[in-house]
Amino acid sequence: MSELQRMIQARNWMKTNENFLETWHAHVGYDLNLFDRFESPASVEDTASRFNLSSELLQRWVDVGVEVGHLKETGRGKFKANKKMIKYASKASSESVGILLSEMMELHIPTLLKYPELLESDERLTYLSEKFSEIVAETSTFLEKAAVSPILKWVKKEKPDAIIDLGCGYCGYLSSIHRKHPKTELIGVELSPEVVEKAREKVSSHIDIREGDIIDFLESYDGKADMIMAHNLLYYFKPEDRAGLFHRFARVLSKQGSVTIICPLVKAKHGAAFTAAFNTFMTAHSNLYPLPSPDSIKKDAKEAGFRVAGMKPLIREGGWYLITLKKKK
């Protein structure tokens, strides 16, 4: 009986892992543009020789693709990619979400696989922002779709004349605000030169993008802003430094000033599984920090002279919240 139980346990793990195969397959396909290579029916031999790939390994990838439904055999030894994979997992497609596969498979999974080593040595990895900042800035734009509407509502209600987006990435939020409020003064601050360069290509020249560190910017800025955005940013700052960060926000904000924070929250009502995993990833790095909780945000905000005006989930299963702070009168 116990042998049978063991066999069932082993089988359960195999089964659980089946989903991973789909992700792996999609990732390889995205990375090497393989779904595009099979947009029209093609044989493995021809495709391998045209694109200089190992035909044996390509055959194996195709075999998996057929099994997980990413490809289908069209007869005469030819294969064709599923339309959905061409649309969503191809670099050329404007609707591609493949970059998320890159982030998961090149950043998150390798970190999690290092866990035994890290646990035993109590060492941490270094998050290589120069390697990943473009991927991360781009994957953040998926969340933007859910978050932009409440941000625009907040802007409509608060009517800020000047807004600063800290860690602005590709300036998606500022661009949306600019379209609705072309007279509002908009400043984005971004550390990564590669991200800044791309952002400048993407956005209106009305948005003033400053390359540099947030703290340096906040300490040297001598104007006043009415709203600060800190979206997907807090985990770059140590928990014990966040109240100080909020103090710096308060210094550059006008009397009626407000802050919008977007961040996954631990110990919140929604998304505990996701935020626990996200926290694991953060803690494995020496230069990334644990996620805040609703209580820690309230405490840090209060200490810096803000009150929490709202804390609403944006993506429940991911534990992502929009938190709005107002300067206390």
Ligand X SMILES: C[S@@+](CC[C@H](N)C(=O)[O-])C[C@H]1O[C@@H](n2cnc3c(N)ncnc32)[C@H](O)[C@@H]1O
Residues lying near ligand X in the complex (CB under 6 A) = 129, 133, 136-137, 140-141, 144, 167-169, 172, 189-192, 195, 213-214, 231-233, 236, 262
Name which of 47 and 133 has its Cβ closer to ligand X: 133
Tokens coding 146 = 């859910």
Name which of 58 and 262 has its Cβ closer to ligand X: 262
**Whole-number minimum distance, CB 248 to ligand X, in Å?**
12
Reference 26, options 105, 125, 135, 117; nearest CA is 105
**Whole-number minimum distance, CB 140 to ligand X, in Å?**
3
| Cβ atoms < 10 Å from Cβ of 39 | 15
Q: In angstroms, rounded to a whole number, what is the distance separating the alpha carbons of residues 4 and 10?
A: 10
Query: What DSSP string describes 56-102?
Result: HHHHHHHHHHHHHTSEEEEETTEEEE-HHHHHHS-TT-TT--HHHHH
Name which of 44 and 147 has its Cβ closer to ligand X: 147
Name which of 209 and 262 has its Cβ closer to ligand X: 262
**Whole-number minimum distance, CB 217 to ligand X, in Å?**
7
Tokens coding 47 = 């495709």
Reference 198, options 178, 174, 170, 239; nearest CA is 170
Name which of 71 and 214 has its Cβ closer to ligand X: 214
Task: Please give the helix or strand (H or E) that residue 119 lies within, else none.
Answer: helix 115-121
Name which of 47 and 279 has its Cβ closer to ligand X: 279
**Whole-number minimum distance, CB 301 to ligand X, in Å?**
19
**Whole-number minimum distance, CB 237 to ligand X, in Å?**
8
| Cβ atoms < 10 Å from Cβ of 258 | 24
φ, ψ of residue 80 in degrees (nearest 5): -135, 140
**Whole-number minimum distance, CB 170 to ligand X, in Å?**
7
Name which of 44 and 252 has its Cβ closer to ligand X: 252
Q: In angstroms, rounded to a whole number, what is the distance separating the alpha carbons of residues 185 and 162?
A: 4
**Whole-number minimum distance, CB 128 to ligand X, in Å?**
12
Q: In angstroms, rounded to a whole number, what is the distance separating the alpha carbons of residues 75 and 71?
A: 12
Burial grade of 257 (CB within 10 A; 0-12, 13-18, 19 or more): buried
**Whole-number minimum distance, CB 214 to ligand X, in Å?**
4
Q: Helix, strand, coil % (nearest 5) of the chain?
A: 55, 20, 25
Name which of 85 and 214 has its Cβ closer to ligand X: 214
